[in-house]
Structure 1
């Protein structure tokens, strides 16, 4: 039987433990779950990592829900920074036509959110399946903030694109907050009413501008080191997939190489169509003038070697690599299918994909021969694309939503 002193001590212990528990919860960073394909080196993934490196990780930590058998090149860095990577089963089995693991996917999502009640903020970069994972997160998890983030201006071609358009119809009713990388990306997924009410936030695809400072002496040294001295270096950074239009890019370079044999093409990235592109390069006899550099983590340095950045994509939301290229002082020749919002320095020219490859090639030479390259990092910063400002705004947003 407890005497009065014992009771007082017991009450004290409860208060003490509760207080310590609250202090511990309050001192730990909030956890934001990013829903992505994987964390390989791509535009969306690089943007997320740029933000991750620049937030206060004592206040906000990132976790990742990926949909790929491989975690990606950023996995080790994520773990070092304190993040966790969780894997979902692939929804669509590409080895079997029209085979979708819908029910397996839903079961895995339910189990995940039941087990991870610590997650209150979900940032969905995969808008194609948001109408599946967001309701489950809300029902079985402890998620209070559901952000959908549009990075594209149109769906991929074929059946996958048709399914994506169907699944995205209800996204406005499910999400609590709406992001887009550009106005065009917003128009693709959100209704005019939502945009006109200013409920869609445009999140700048910021870069660490300090990594892109340019000067002529450094470029000459780097070209010499990489054995491109005396060459005009054409560059592209993109995953090898249909929307990036590598086939036409090779056609352009083939014509360009005829006009000026002192040209080389550097292709940075990996992807499912890489083998096909390599075969085309070989068939055109360009193997000695086209270098496939794979997925790289030294893109800022490589951009300094380029003399022009080619971007003939079939569509783009607002490509991060286009911002990086401008930060590095490069002229950019882009397809007119790319959003005009990309041109933040005045150094981007848009050209129709209806124009033949030979026309593009001549334009490349005209631009390179008449372009005076200089440091553009301050211009990029003033345009609102400094990652430090993007990270600062997002951190504040996450913290307010968490509370």
Structure 2
């Protein structure tokens, strides 16, 4: 059984990071697995995967233009590789559509699985996409929903394909976080950070969905001892940098870009936050809860179910409530410790080994049909 993972790129993102973390583990379990990306611009995740030398990494286009992801020529390039594999496990749009077309061009020789990572997207919100979406989903043998919430949404959206749906929660390598050692000095992250500073950390791509602006505004309501670390890259970073400048927070907000030392940063932070407008089942939220630090998230689809009863939830976009929650945790050491304990217990439910086992069972089922 030969499996290929297909995704737009291995730039910053939860689905992208998941492939970096899991492909070596699938290989360890005896699954012959490679990865194909439509586009690469010297991304750290793909460089890290290549350095592991555990699989073939196929890149359809090396360039500095992310729009190459959408180039229809990717379909023709993809079909040349697709025919060499028994199963293609696909992630995100447009890979979702292009893989279906490429497979049709080779007579449907490859069996397709698609993972639905988000509770919403632009297509599901537009009725005229329904016919196209129904056609596309019909070409997949199985559709993996990474949470029950996503499953409930899509079984209403495309009820015709209910039998294809499987719920497999994303997983996190909890040991990598628990065993990570914090920076000995906070100034090792940036020379302008003091050991007396309280560090707030958010790890997420810069997209409108992630809403870093709410967190930046919350920082402006907090005492000067609080500083904010923002890890990631993306199209809204410049907007966030402008907001930081407008609010005179340039000496308190640090844009760290894409990092490979996330576990160490998590262990060094005082509070971990995710201020998204929606999620699928956020790996960052699970990593945040596993970190040994309190985790705060917006009360939105894809985060509410995971965090409620463990971490702290705040109203989406409400920077004042977010700031109040941060202050309360820092000032109340008993509450701080209780939230840490409950977060770590919740994170245990999302161990990466469970996810790997469930996926391998699914691959075998699809392969044998």
TM-score when normalising by structure 2: 0.83
Q: For each residue in 1:197-235, what CA deviation from the matched residue of structure 2 results, as whole angstroms up to 9, or x when unmatched?
A: 5642222221111122279xx658353644441221111
- Residue 268 (structure 2) pairs with residue 305 (structure 1): yes
For residue 293 of structure 2, the aligned residue among 302, 323, 330 is: 330
CA gap of 1:293–1:160, structure 2 versus 1, over 3 A, is: farther
How do 1:167-246 residues align onto structure 2 when only pairs under 5 Å count? 167-191=132-156, 194=159, 199-213=164-178, 219=182, 221-223=184-186, 225-226=188-189, 227-246=193-212
Q: For each residue in 1:50-71, what CA deviation from the matched residue of structure 2 results, as whole angstroms up to 9, or x when unmatched?
A: 2112123573233333233526
CA gap of 1:263–1:381, structure 2 versus 1, over 3 A, is: closer
Q: For each residue in 1:256-277, what CA deviation from the matched residue of structure 2 results, as whole angstroms up to 9, or x when unmatched?
A: 2xxx211000000011121221
How do 1:322-361 residues align onto structure 2 when only pairs under 5 Å count? 322-339=285-302, 340-343=304-307, 346-353=309-316, 355=318, 357-361=319-323
How do 1:244-323 residues align onto structure 2 when only pairs under 5 Å count? 244-256=210-222, 260-323=223-286
Other-structure match for 1:12? none
CA gap of 1:154–1:365, structure 2 versus 1, over 3 A, is: same
Other-structure match for 1:40? 11
2:91–2:115: 8 Å Cα contact kept in structure 1?
yes
User: 1:321 offset after TM fit, Å?
Assistant: 0.4
Q: Which moved more, 1:227-236 or 1:127-136?
A: 127-136
Structure 1: gaps spanning 5 or more residues: 1-29
1:155–1:165: 8 Å Cα contact kept in structure 2?
no
Q: Give the number of aligned pairs.
A: 356
Structure 2: gaps spanning 5 or more residues: none
Superposition RMSD in Å: 3.4
Q: SS at 1:47's partner residue?
A: helix
Other-structure match for 2:60? 87
Q: For each residue in 1:336-379, what CA deviation from the matched residue of structure 2 results, as whole angstroms up to 9, or x when unmatched?
A: 224223228x4322221263x22321121112322117577973
Give, in whole Å, the separation in 1 of the partners of 2:55 and 2:314. 43
Q: For each residue in 1:5-55, what CA deviation from the matched residue of structure 2 results, as whole angstroms up to 9, or x when unmatched?
A: xxxxxxxxxxxxxxxxxxxxxxxxx43222212012321111122211212
Other-structure match for 2:103? 137
Other-structure match for 1:368? 330
Structure with higher Rg: it is: 1
